[in-house]
Amino acid sequence: MTSCKPTSTEKEEHLRKPDWLKIKLNTNDEYKGLKKLMREKNLNTVCEEARCPNIHECWGERRTATMMILGSVCTRACRFCAVKTGLPNELDLAEPERVADSVAIMNLKHVVITMVARDDLKDGGSEVLAETVRAIRRKSPLTSVEVLPSDLGGIKENLQLLMDAKPDILNHNIETVRRLTPRVRARAKYDRSLEFLRLAKEMQPTIPTKSSLMIGLGETHEEILEVMDDLRANNVDIMTIGQYLQPTKKHLVVKKYYSPLEFGKLRKIAMEKGFKHCEAGPLVRSSYHADEQVNAATKERQMQADM
């Protein structure tokens, strides 16, 4: 009988993590306090659900957080993401006020509101996301608000609902290069994400737009540059570039670990291509130092207005 087990050449090689990916845990009182509040308010955070390596820095040192609304179950099953997938729960219409209350209690200077994909909803979840922005504005007028939505089904009216709430920054992640998108991102399309970012800028020209790229999934250097060019062609202001890390054995394996030096070179290229701000590094994630990113983009916008 012929064995069905894969040969050593058929198995995907698991690379050893380099030293620069080791992180320092900071479970201080600030971190513990934020975590306690999240549980008391029954809130989800992408920091926890997506196993972000920067959670201790953001919660414990910077007092910034990324809230994940519309439940903790996503309708998509992207092969890079640790968020649970399946049939979502019913909408919690009290969630926007609960999130806003928490932001006020924590006295956050910057908050990122992200969401699970809700392809089961006609509006993709845009109304609840927009109401969350408005609720935070009412209760914490000095807090800058960044939104990180799904593509909202690629429906223009859904995006318009969100942009009418006027977040301080619109973030939508391209995630990977064009060639790898079908394998990496479930039900998402590379060109639809680009159009989403372009339309957001057309709807609210003064609001900075932002996108994030993971590398280490088998892309080429030329493909990374192509993503930069595509984002700039659609007027994206801010870009983040980070190392893909395999969350579980069920997810895509890492093909390459990029060094801090390589990330530094990519950041230099991004700035030369016209991005107003770029964060690039092994542990950089879409919301990494998000408060600094929005401040940098706002300063650039003000400088242009004064010219």
**Residue ranges for the binding site for [4Fe-4S] cluster?**
47, 52, 58, 74, 78, 81, 287
DSSP assigned state of 19: G
d(CA 150, CA 125) in angstroms, rounded, equals 9
Strands (E), the chain: 44-45, 65-69, 73-74, 84-85, 110-115, 144-148, 169-171, 209-215, 238-243, 277-281
d(CA 63, CA 79) in angstroms, rounded, equals 30
Which residue ranges make up the annotated binding site? Answer: 47, 52, 58, 74, 78, 81, 287
- Tokens 């395999």: give the residue: 246
d(CA 145, CA 270) in angstroms, rounded, equals 24
The radius of gyration computed from the CA coordinates of the chain, to the nearest angstrom, equals 19
Q: Judge whether 129 and 112 are in contact, CB under 8 Å.
A: no
3-state secondary structure 131-172: HHHHHHHHHCCCCEEEEECCCHHHCHHHHHHHHCCCCCEEEC
